[in-house]
Structure 1
Amino acid sequence: MPVPLSFFRSETSQRLRAEGMAASVLVLLDQRGIEVSEEARERISACRSTEALTTWLTRISTAKSTAELFGRWGPMATQLSLLRSKTAQRLRAEGHYERYIQGYVESFTEGYLTGTAKSILALLDHRGIEAPEEAREHITSCRDIETLAVWFDRAVDAGSIADVLVAG
């Protein structure tokens, strides 16, 4: 049974997008050699505010520490895993758990792709690299995780949009 499209606009899907953005923040911090304490790592991983995550993504290029990265954003509450939620328990009891997992995986993948594409564009914008609408559409419509990961890595040091999207 296919998952209704409304699921991808749901609160759950938004949380999954945030997880993808949080993963991007951690990758960039690692690439910049910024030490991330276990507390900071948990704070980033648990963050579900795309507004905060977008702010952090734009601060990464100049931040020298996680304290500078966080700025005014206070600690975020840790969310329980969707797989341990009451909804998951109810669906498991009703025998619908396989479809729930399928929907979770599909939503996570969509959220990760969307979050990574938004992270690339936010990083380019913050670095002052102009990305024409055609390039933005190319990035946001990409559905290959490996390609997005390569583009994200390139966006850290790229001098132009061509440097990010170059083949190979």
Structure 2
Amino acid sequence: MADLSFYISPLSEEIREEGRAQGRAQGRAQGRAQARGENILILLDARGIDVTDAVREKISACIDLEVSREWLIRAVHAATAEEIFGPTR
């Protein structure tokens, strides 16, 4: 019979808790990125700027918080939705 004591050891529990903490952190970051994408789309809509399906998909798929922050800032002044994807500062 195999020795399964590792699976109930403090070290094993510590490893599992690290994994859970990393998963929670990733989930929170994804949630923030998703919310920021929604905010960009709301802002563009409120400004009366047309958003193509391709642009909507690109904004919705972005999980990089720094990139989406830049897009949000640009969305304040952009004349078209595509302008938010311009070069970074």
TM-score category of the 2 structures, normalised to the smaller one: 0.7 to 0.9
Q: For residue 118 of structure 1, what is the aligned residue in structure 2?
A: 38
- Work out whether residues 55 and 82 of structure 2, in 8 Å CA contact, stay in contact via their aligned partners in 1: no
Please point out which of 46, 49, 53 is paired with 1:129. Answer: 49
Please point out which of 16, 28, 39 is paired with 1:108. Answer: 28
What's the TM-score, normalizing by structure 2? 0.74
Q: For residue 162 of structure 1, what is the aligned residue in structure 2?
A: 82
User: Which has the greater radius of gyration?
Assistant: 2
Q: Which AA in structure 2 matches 1:129?
A: I
Deviations 1:15-57 (A, max 9, x none): xxxxxxxxxxxxxxxxxxxxxxxxxxxxxxxxxxxxxxxxxxx
Q: For residue 147 of structure 1, what is the aligned residue in structure 2?
A: 67
What's the TM-score, normalizing by structure 1? 0.41
Q: Gaps (5+ residues) in structure 1?
A: 1-93
**Aligned equivalents of 1:157, 1:167: Cα separation in 2:** 14
Structure 1 stretches of at least 4 aligned residues deviating more than 4 Å after TM superposition: none
Residue identity over aligned pairs, in percent, reads 32
How many aligned positions are there? 75
**Aligned equivalents of 1:128, 1:104: Cα separation in 2:** 36
**Aligned equivalents of 2:81, 2:22: Cα separation in 1:** 35
- For 1:7-156, what aligned pairs fall within 5 Å after superposition? 95=14, 96-156=16-76
